[in-house]
Amino acid sequence: MSNKKPCNKSRLGNASRRTFLSTTAVAGAAILAAPYIKSARAAERKITVRDPGGPFSAGFKAAYYDPFKAETGIEVVGIQGEHEPTGMIKAMVEAKNYTWDGALLSKSSHQSLVNLGYLEPIAPKGGPGKHVSEVPEGLRGEFILGNDVYATLIAYRKDVLGDKGPKNWADFWNTDKIPGARALRKHPFDTMEQALLADGVAPADLYPIDFDRAFASLDKIKDSVDIWWTGGAQTSQLLSSGEVDMLPTWNGRAQVAVDDGAPVELVWDGALYTYEGWTILKGTPNVDLMREFIEFCAQGKQQAAYTPHVAYGPTNPKAFEYVEAERAKVLPTNPAYLPNMVPVDTDFWGANKDSASERFNAWLLS
């Protein structure tokens, strides 16, 4: 590892910035080879990452932020960001003004940024570190390290609907069969798939999405949607308070309501699943510190430590050696659920997110 003192970010001019990035790129392989060696000045170093807030804040503090600082002396500051923060990241990269060094992103959001060249590879040229390599290739990529697998499913209040709650997306759309207050996500992600599944499209035929058919299906339920939700924490509150009787949300957010004592049922059949993971913003001066952090987060033991707070499935299979048996029953990577769930095509969304969002927002106003 280089003996040079870390550069002060605020003093980096264009020339010194290029020098800094060049020297840290060379040092990256050494950092990953021995990821937890403290430098003499580590205590003065800090990275800032976007996380989804809510239960993630406590979970990531316990699993990653505090242990990483204890191991390396490097401080991690987690800042809650909007649920699809691609616009914020674009602005940071283009202005070279980094509020965040890295971000936890959905695979779809990550792909849209990869297409623009706005993310850094998570590993140096020497390849991924030991723990990143333990994560299955299907749950990581050149620009993302999968942190958790999550499902978008139907959650409903058992005290209101009893055993007559929706069992699938067609039921959710059938307001005559199952009356009650409903909410939907104010975003095309997942909502398009739900509309098509409700309209009878087979999971194998979802992609490429037939937007005309999806919006025609949404037309049938639009007037029955009481709330268009914009964030995961909001759905936990809607379920806990009983403000709505049913909604699609991420399983971890529904589990928050369950853990708080709300009589909420989760419907795993037909749930949509994908993963989210750690990414590095293109051009941040703290690329190598982020790579060190990501290698730390890939450890199974560390991933297991967030599951008491967030009911999402760890991506490192070794995590289940440390997860409590009862908690494992509510994680999406449970083999009892996956065969009946529907994978999301994130490559499709990476290419179509912006145009779909424009059309969706215009439809909401129509």
CATH of the domain at 245: 3.40.190.10
Instruction: With residue 91 as reference, give the H or E element that holds it.
Output: helix 86-95
- 180 domain residue, yes or no: yes
Q: Are residues 140 and 164 in the same domain?
A: no
| pLDDT over 50 at 35, yes or no | no
Q: What is the DSSP letter of 7?
A: P
| pLDDT over 50 at 80, yes or no | yes
CA distances from 59 to 29, 177, 302 (A): 29, 39, 10
C-alpha span between 118 and 124 (Å, rounded): 16
| pLDDT over 90 at 338, yes or no | no
Average pLDDT of span 303-324:
94
Of 288, 346, 250, 289, which Cα lies nearest the Cα of 55?
Answer: 250
Per the prediction, the chain carries an average pLDDT of 89
| pLDDT over 80 at 109, yes or no | yes
Q: Are residues 15 and 117 in the same domain?
A: yes
Q: Could you tell me what percent of the chain has a pLDDT over 70?
A: 88
| pLDDT over 60 at 26, yes or no | no
pTM, 2 dp: 0.72
Q: Are residues 59 and 171 in the same domain?
A: no
pLDDT tens digit string along 199-238? 999 999 999 999 999 999 999 999 999 999 999 999 999 9
Average pLDDT of span 335-350:
88
Of 164, 157, 51, 26, which Cα lies nearest the Cα of 103?
Answer: 51
Q: Are residues 140 and 96 in the same domain?
A: yes
pLDDT value, residue 84: 80
Beta strand residue intervals within the chain, DSSP E = 46-51, 75-80, 102-106, 119-120, 140-141, 144-157, 182-185, 225-229, 246-250, 264-281, 313-314, 342-343
Strand partners, 275: 149
Q: Could you tell me what percent of the chain has a pLDDT over 90?
A: 79
Q: Which residues contact 76 (CB under 8 A, 6 or more apart)?
A: 46, 47, 48, 49, 64, 65, 68, 69, 293
Q: Are residues 230 and 144 in the same domain?
A: no
Q: Are residues 186 and 297 in the same domain?
A: no
In contact, 196 and 210? CB cutoff 8 Å: yes
- 339 domain residue, yes or no: no
Average pLDDT of span 77-89:
90
Q: Are residues 158 and 144 in the same domain?
A: no
| pLDDT over 90 at 36, yes or no | no
Give the number of other CB atoms < 10 A from CB of residue 63: 26
* 3-state secondary structure (DSSP) of residue 281: strand
| pLDDT over 60 at 105, yes or no | yes
pLDDT value, residue 9: 38
- 252 domain residue, yes or no: yes
What's the structural domain count of the chain? 2
Strand partners, 140: 145
- 161 domain residue, yes or no: yes
pLDDT tens digit string along 230-286? 999 999 999 999 999 999 999 989 999 999 999 999 999 999 999 999 999 999 999
- 3 domain residue, yes or no: no
pLDDT value, residue 350: 81
pLDDT value, residue 78: 97
pLDDT tens digit string along 130-150? 999 999 998 999 999 999 999
CA distances from 168 to 171, 209, 220, 273, 295 (A): 5, 19, 16, 15, 39
Q: Are residues 141 and 68 in the same domain?
A: yes
Domain ranges, residue 293: 9-149+276-328
